[in-house]
Structure 1
Amino acid sequence: MKRIIALCGLLAAILLTGCAKKEAVDYTAFRQHPPKSILVLLPQNDSPETNASHGMLSNVTYPLSEAGYYVFPVAMVEEVFKQNGLVNGGEIQTTSLVKLREIFGADSVLYITVKDYGTSYQVIASDTRVTADAKLVDLATGTLLWSGSATASSNEQNSGSGNLIGMLIQAAVNQIAHTLTDKSYEVAGVTSVRLLGAGQPDSILYGPRSPKYGQDAK
């Protein structure tokens, strides 16, 4: 009987832990140092795919612009670093805040790390997944304004039904198709919107170019 009671207590604790609310994002610093412009650095790539940094970089301007911010042209920014011998995202992100502000004159800098990028074959499924973390830092003070993480997968709409042979064939076909058509780039676009689009739970706040500026996260 005691074992049953103990087991019930353990299950209850697990359920309560799983149902616990996620801690809300603190926007105090964001409101104290509201940025008008964002400098996006070449993402650091922690995935095995060599094109992950540029695949993610080419997708981030849209959600940030839609959120109401001026985004420094990412190709121009990358070229500036290239002219100074920095071509790797990890190296570029070590540049001091003072130097970044001196060169670009931006209000804030966005650091992105790509965790997952690419298509993997999983016996009965072929999954293209992109996961990225980001943090927005005020260039004048070094204050962390916001941080977040997002992921997207090509299998999100799959029902998983069907016979085993058919699923195996479909998985192989999907992997070939995703590789040939660079499905990762498309999925990275979804990830970037989830990560950097304003108006979502725990997202960045709307910028001054948006008609919704100052109306969110109250």
Structure 2
Amino acid sequence: MKKLICSSLFVMFALTGCVAKQDLSYLEPLHDRQLRSLLIAPVKNETIDVMAPTSVLATLPFSLAEKGYYTFPVNTVKVLLEGEGYYEPAEVHAAPPESLASLFGADAILYVTIHEWTSEYILLATTTKVDFEYKIVDNSGQLLWQARKELAYSPQQQNSTGNPLADLVAMAITAAIERAAPNYLPLTRMANGQVFSGPQTGLPPGPYSPIYGEYYKKVAEQSVNPAAN
């Protein structure tokens, strides 16, 4: 809970002047709507790894729950969408958001597209990379928020024993393990966390967040007295 509150306070601190002043105009559409429920659309995959969408989709509900939003169960969403004739993520992303939101009574839809999901092996190093695009559209079809995040992870660079030969062997082993079974999930969780809670992209707290009331009290105060920001 302490970790959740600390990560959620970032945007509020920015609003109250506890950190360097920055442009938070991107939050205005989200403040106006004060979303409660989000429909997570099936993840669109532009890579050759067929398991990538499943891995990304598995991390999104938890990441959004940490922010205080209700998300519809992804398996139920999949079954209901297939019942409506939507079998491919690309079809869902191309469908009218008003129609999709009305099927579930959702306030908005989160669309995620995977642009990169690779693990590159060069000499004694393996680097795992992800590139995700995020977009939230409300139930009237209005774009409320969008972000993109690229991250890379090279496990063989994490530790050093001070012994060059031992480090070389360790790097080779670590790189081989990562190449054989790339560890995408931690990188995906990190990408979600940085997008949903980071500077210039962080979402405001949802209604199930412990700081929701205090946050929107500050928003209301600043709308009455902008000079206080």
TM-score by length of 1: 0.76
Alpha-carbon distance between aligned partners in 1 of 2:22 and 2:46, rounded to the nearest angstrom: 26
Name the counterpart of 1:56.
56
Deviations 1:157-208 (A, max 9, x none): 82597859964x6565335423554511232222222223x3x312111111
Matches within 5 A, 1:132-171: 132-139=132-139, 141-155=140-154, 158=157, 167=168
Q: Is the 8 A contact 2:132 2:150 kept in 1?
A: yes
Identity %: 24
Q: 1:23 to 1:174 in 2, by over 3 A?
A: farther
Q: Is the 8 A contact 1:126 1:172 kept in 2?
A: no
Name the counterpart of 1:111.
111
Matches within 5 A, 1:54-203: 54-139=54-139, 141-155=140-154, 158=157, 167=168, 173-178=173-178, 180-196=180-196, 198=197, 200-202=198-200, 203=202
Alpha-carbon distance between aligned partners in 1 of 2:45 and 2:176, rounded to the nearest angstrom: 23
Query: Which is helix-richer, 1 or 2?
Result: 2
Between Structure 1 and Structure 2, whose CA radius of gyration is higher?
Answer: 1
Alpha-carbon distance between aligned partners in 2 of 1:64 and 1:75, rounded to the nearest angstrom: 16
Report the more deviating stretch, 174-183 or 25-34.
Answer: 174-183
Could you say what secondary structure the match of 2:42 adopts?
coil
Report the more deviating stretch, 114-123 or 79-88.
Answer: 79-88
Q: Is the 8 A contact 2:42 2:89 kept in 1?
A: yes
Q: Is the 8 A contact 1:37 1:70 kept in 2?
A: yes
Alpha-carbon distance between aligned partners in 1 of 2:52 and 2:22, rounded to the nearest angstrom: 29
Name the counterpart of 1:208.
207
Alpha-carbon distance between aligned partners in 2 of 1:66 and 1:99, rounded to the nearest angstrom: 27
Report the more deviating stretch, 169-178 or 97-106.
Answer: 169-178
Alpha-carbon distance between aligned partners in 1 of 2:124 and 2:177, rounded to the nearest angstrom: 15
Instruction: Pick 1 or 2: higher relative contact order, CA cutoff 8 A, min separation 6.
Output: 2
Deviations 1:109-133 (A, max 9, x none): 0011112213111233101122211
Could you say what secondary structure the match of 1:211 adopts?
coil
Q: Is the 8 A contact 1:29 1:145 kept in 2?
A: yes
Could you say what secondary structure the match of 2:38 adopts?
strand
Name the counterpart of 1:9.
none
Could you say what secondary structure the match of 1:93 adopts?
helix
Q: How many residues align?
A: 194
Could you say what secondary structure the match of 1:116 adopts?
strand
Q: Name the aligned partner's letter for residue 199 of structure 2.
A: P
Report the more deviating stretch, 106-115 or 206-215.
Answer: 206-215
Alpha-carbon distance between aligned partners in 1 of 2:119 and 2:77, rounded to the nearest angstrom: 29
TM-score by length of 2: 0.72
**C-alpha displacement at 1:88, in angstroms?**
2.4
Name the counterpart of 2:46.
46
User: Could you say what the CA RMSD is over the residues aligned between the two structures, in angstroms?
Assistant: 2.9
Gaps of 5+ in 1: 1-20
Q: 1:83 to 1:179 in 2, by over 3 A?
A: farther
Q: 1:25 to 1:211 in 2, by over 3 A?
A: same
